[in-house]
Amino acid sequence: MIDFLQNNYWLPVLLLADTWLLWNRYGLYLRGVKQVDGEEAIRMVRERDAAVLDVREKREFAASHIPRSRNVPLSQFRRRLDSLEKYRGRPLVVSCRSGSRSARACIILKKNGFEEVYNLKGGVGSWVRSMRKFDD
């Protein structure tokens, strides 16, 4: 067995990398968090009165943000969770720059009983690109 591992040292690395990729791809789904792209998120806001929550830091939010989104930085998220109670019955689209921080915020929201939580796949950039399509 040791000889096999020495001769195929790359195999455990490959197995770990595959496991990591699968978890990143399906981990949110397994935790009950759905992902939406920019177009789906825009439709949800327009047709279902979804709220948009931006979890970037204040300076990032100040530089640019989705219109009418609410800023609760991930670094303060757990402390400010009570301020989100008014959104509990609405669909909630969570955004950040890339979709990574927002995914973590979505998991926290789900653990705290928020039912309809959506991670904006591709982050704010996805929203901006999709708005261009809607405007054309």
CA pair distance 61, 31, nearest whole angstrom: 27
Would residue 106 show up in a list of annotated catalytic residues for this protein? no
Residues 6+ apart with CB under 8 A from 11: 5
How far, rounded to the nearest angstrom, does the alpha carbon of residue 94 sit from its chain's CA centroid?
Answer: 6
Closest CA to 95 of 50, 135, 133: 50
Q: Is 5 helix (H, G, I), strand (E, B) or coil?
A: helix
| Cβ partners under 8 Å of residue 65, min gap 6 | 54, 56, 71, 124
Among residues 96, 109, 117, 120, the one annotated as catalytic is: 96
Cβ pair 13, 20 in contact under 8 A: no
- Which of the residues are catalytic? 96
